[in-house]
Amino acid sequence: MKISIIGSGNVGSHLSIAFENHHHQIYEVFSRQKSKASHLASTLYQAATKTDLDFSKSKAELFILAVSDDAMIEVCAKLILPENAILAHTSGGTSLEDLQKLMLIHHDLPVKCAVFYPLMTFTAGKKLDLKDVPFCIESHDEETEQKLVGIAQELSNVVYLISSEERKALHVAAVFACNFTNHLLALAKGITDSEDLEFDLLKPLIRETFRKALATENPADVQTGPAIRGDETTINRHLDYLKEDENLVEIYEIMTESIQNI
Amino acid sequence: MKISIIGSGNVGSHLSIAFENHHHQIYEVFSRQKSKASHLASTLYQAATKTDLDFSKSKAELFILAVSDDAMIEVCAKLILPENAILAHTSGGTSLEDLQKLMLIHHDLPVKCAVFYPLMTFTAGKKLDLKDVPFCIESHDEETEQKLVGIAQELSNVVYLISSEERKALHVAAVFACNFTNHLLALAKGITDSEDLEFDLLKPLIRETFRKALATENPADVQTGPAIRGDETTINRHLDYLKEDENLVEIYEIMTESIQNI
């Protein structure tokens, strides 16, 4: 299939390479920053760098919209696609309806809107095997949905039809499970730094924590620590230790309370 | 070395078995719950079940005090040890001084107090290789310290001399990195449950998050998500999604603010 990529950030780059590896042709790459588009295009087999959003003469059948949620309004306003093209966004947080509305406001031509959302955190420049990455597909057009499921199944063993409402829940849950947990690890590193201790000391514990949480049916079943034990002596000692840092005290208190109330 | 174990919870059980595997003899096991003591003793080679805390006639040289911080006061008040015994507690949160004070209040006989703290989360009935577990050793008596370092080095490749102040920081950091992160995973599971979605969908993302955080020097360097991007559209969508659950809203807001202020 001929595919064009709109947006050359982490998601756009990773998907482009994966599509090429599965014998699809990346036809065009657009980015609001031209240098990023041409850089990505240069790593691909024969993709052209596109500097505007008029794709009316494009031979691509599928347009992957991999821009930030904030940029989507601006991009959709200018986007012109060939007849019968599929436009699939890759965002966890934007509903299919929102994309359809954005396209309907500005365009007469019918476009087949869809969602092609890989539930993963991508890092620039780091290759990542997509075969275990869940792909969440959605479209109101059944033929489009089946086409996207087919392409996703080439990339990954885990492909789901997920509604916009379900995807929103997944996106929120991912913020707790990924972004917030990473931040707690950063805070823990700050605490060890303050005593000139190596963060490495905590790594075996962190590895075991996650191994255990992922091996169980519900992480709540393997909760440990002073909060779940109701060990007030230790909790008060910890709060006393943290007392100079209002932010850490607040997080400690609210997480302790939440553990005790679950 | 002849070792007696006071406390037959997760830490006491795991250490007993590890000591035996390295050719130390577990001489006696005490627990406030007799059935737990005799159960642990029965899994060991020739350990006796002890029903009281008078060890004055014991032949053990090292007494591992693996009871909860809350139980330590009560146990130390009744504990009678043979002359020149080493008493090492396994707690992250109790200082060496606190143990010395507890033993001095109630006893005339000098006891060599120490700390033998494995920085790990132990699960009942689950075998765990201790070779990567950091052991934190502390004693004011150099000979005692060296003996405990020697024993710890048989069990693990990672043995540190750690002061009580440093250990307190490690313990607090471990609560953030282990207990609180596990709770965030439990909350994420609750969110997927509420939409009848499989928690398994999030597992590849969780694995990648922790792989990434542990592979970098500072987890803050690989922070992703709407908070660090300043993506207010998505943050507001998420808060709106969570609005029925005050606890989740509060955690979302405080974690988002903390990420943005780091």
Instruction: State pLDDT tens for residues A7-47.
Output: 999 999 999 999 999 999 999 999 999 999 999 999 999 89
Regarding whether A143 and A224 lie in a shared domain, the answer is no
Contact call for residues B29 and B5 (beta carbons, < 8 A): yes
Last residue of a domain, one of A117, A135, A162: A162
Residues 6+ apart with CB under 8 A from A221: none
Regarding whether B197 and B116 lie in a shared domain, the answer is no
> What pLDDT, on the 0 to 100 scale, is given for residue A231?
87
Q: Does B161 touch chain A (CB under 8 A)?
A: no
Residues 6+ apart with CB under 8 A from A229: B68
Residues 6+ apart with CB under 8 A from A145: A114, A137, A138, A139, A161
> What pLDDT, on the 0 to 100 scale, is given for residue A122?
86
- How many angstroms separate the CA atoms of A63 and A151, rounded? 13
Q: Does A67 touch chain B (CB under 8 A)?
A: no
Contact call for residues B262 and B254 (beta carbons, < 8 A): no
- Top residue of A179, A214, A261 to mutate, by most chain B CBs within 10 Å, is A179
Q: Is residue B262 over pLDDT 80?
A: no
**Short-list A169, A111, A1, A41, CA closest to B242:** A169
Q: Does B71 touch chain A (CB under 8 A)?
A: no
Q: Does A71 touch chain B (CB under 8 A)?
A: no
CA distances from A242 to A235, A239, B173 (A): 11, 5, 10
Regarding whether A145 and A21 lie in a shared domain, the answer is yes
Residue A247 with chain B: CB contacts under 8 Å: 257-258, 261
What angle separates helix B232-242 from helix B246-261, to the nearest 10 degrees?
A: 160
Q: Does A224 touch chain B (CB under 8 A)?
A: yes
Domain of B205, CATH number, reads 1.10.1040.20
Q: Which residue has the tokens 């009281």?
A: B52
With a pLDDT cut of 70, the percent of chain B lying above it is 99
- Average pLDDT for B182-203: 97
- How many angstroms separate the CA atoms of B30 and A123, rounded? 52
Regarding whether B176 and B158 lie in a shared domain, the answer is no
Q: Is residue B109 over pLDDT 70?
A: no
> What pLDDT, on the 0 to 100 scale, is given for residue B125?
74
- Top residue of A95, A121, A176, A203 to mutate, by most chain B CBs within 10 Å, is A176
Last residue of a domain, one of A162, A197, A226: A162
- For A78, counting Cβ atoms within 10 Å of its Cβ (0-12 exposed, 13-18 middle, 19+ buried), the class is exposed
Q: What share of chain A is helix, strand, coil (3-state, %, to 5)?
A: 55, 15, 30
- Look at B189 and A234 and tell me if their CB atoms are within 8 Å: no
- Look at A192 and B208 and tell me if their CB atoms are within 8 Å: no
What is the least distance, in Å, from the CA of B142 to any CA of chain A? 22
Residue A166 with chain B: CB contacts under 8 Å: 195, 197
- How many angstroms separate the CA atoms of B150 and B59, rounded? 20
Regarding whether A116 and A9 lie in a shared domain, the answer is yes
* Cross-strand bridge partners of residue B135: B118, B159
What is the least distance, in Å, from the CA of B28 to any CA of chain A? 27
**Interval B20-63: pLDDT, tens:** 999 999 999 999 999 999 999 999 998 999 999 999 999 999 99
How is residue B176 annotated by DSSP? I
If you measure CA to CA, which chain A residue comes closest to B260? A183
**Interval B126-168: pLDDT, tens:** 788 899 999 999 999 999 999 999 999 999 999 999 999 999 9
Regarding whether A183 and A107 lie in a shared domain, the answer is no
pLDDT-flagged residues of chain A (< 70): 108-109
What is the least distance, in Å, from the CA of B173 to any CA of chain A? 4
If you measure CA to CA, which chain B residue comes closest to A170? B192
Residue B158 with chain A: CB contacts under 8 Å: 201, 204
- Average pLDDT for B182-193: 98
Question: Which helix H or strand E contains A31, and what residues bound it?
Answer: none
Among candidates B119, B191, B229 on the partner chain, residue whose Cβ is nearest the Cβ of A201: B119
Regarding whether A23 and A80 lie in a shared domain, the answer is yes
User: What is the CA angle A125-A182-B196, rounded to 5?
Assistant: 100
Instruction: Give the pairing of strands B48-50 and B62-65.
Output: unpaired
Last residue of a domain, one of A162, A190, A210: A162
- Average pLDDT for B227-256: 95
Residue A160 with chain B: CB contacts under 8 Å: 201
Regarding whether A177 and A153 lie in a shared domain, the answer is no
Q: Is residue B107 over pLDDT 80?
A: no
Residue B162 with chain A: CB contacts under 8 Å: 197
Window 97-126 of A: residues touching B by CB (8 A cutoff) are 119-121, 123
Identify the domain containing residue A92 by its residue range. Answer: 2-162
Regarding whether A230 and A211 lie in a shared domain, the answer is yes
Q: Does A11 touch chain B (CB under 8 A)?
A: no
Domain of B72, CATH number, reads 3.40.50.720
Task: Give the torsion sign (CA, A167, A170, A172, A174).
Answer: negative
Q: Does B150 touch chain A (CB under 8 A)?
A: no
Q: Does A251 touch chain B (CB under 8 A)?
A: yes
- Average pLDDT for B236-248: 96
What is the least distance, in Å, from the CA of A168 to any CA of chain B? 8
Regarding whether A238 and A195 lie in a shared domain, the answer is yes
- Look at A254 and B250 and tell me if their CB atoms are within 8 Å: yes
Regarding whether B104 and B66 lie in a shared domain, the answer is yes
Task: Give the torsion sign (CA, B56, B60, B64, B66).
Answer: negative
Give me B89's structure tokens.
């507690």
Give me B165's structure tokens.
């102040």
Among candidates A177, A180, A182 on the partner chain, residue whose Cβ is nearest the Cβ of B202: A177
Regarding whether A173 and A73 lie in a shared domain, the answer is no
Task: Residue count of chain B, please give it.
Answer: 262
Domain total of chain B: 2
> What pLDDT, on the 0 to 100 scale, is given for residue A125?
74
With a pLDDT cut of 90, the percent of chain B lying above it is 86
How is residue A221 annotated by DSSP? G
- Look at A208 and B247 and tell me if their CB atoms are within 8 Å: no
What angle separates helix B246-261 from helix B181-194, to the nearest 10 degrees?
A: 130
- How many angstroms separate the CA atoms of A211 and B54, rounded? 40
**Quick check: ipTM above 0.90?**
yes
> What pLDDT, on the 0 to 100 scale, is given for residue A262?
76
Strands, E assignment, chain B: 2-6, 25-30, 48-50, 62-65, 86-89, 112-118, 135-139, 159-161
User: What is the CA angle A35-A120-A123, rounded to 5?
Assistant: 40
> What pLDDT, on the 0 to 100 scale, is given for residue A127?
80
Among candidates B128, B199, B210 on the partner chain, residue whose Cβ is nearest the Cβ of A206: B210
Among candidates A70, A93, A261 on the partner chain, residue whose Cβ is nearest the Cβ of B247: A261
- How many angstroms separate the CA atoms of B146 and A229, rounded? 33
Q: Which long-range contacts (CB under 8 A, 24 or more apart) does B199-204 make?
A: B199/A218, B201/A119, B201/A134, B201/A158, B201/A160, B201/A170, B202/A119, B202/A170, B202/A173, B202/A174, B202/A177, B202/A178, B203/A214, B204/A119, B204/A120, B204/A132, B204/A133, B204/A134, B204/A158
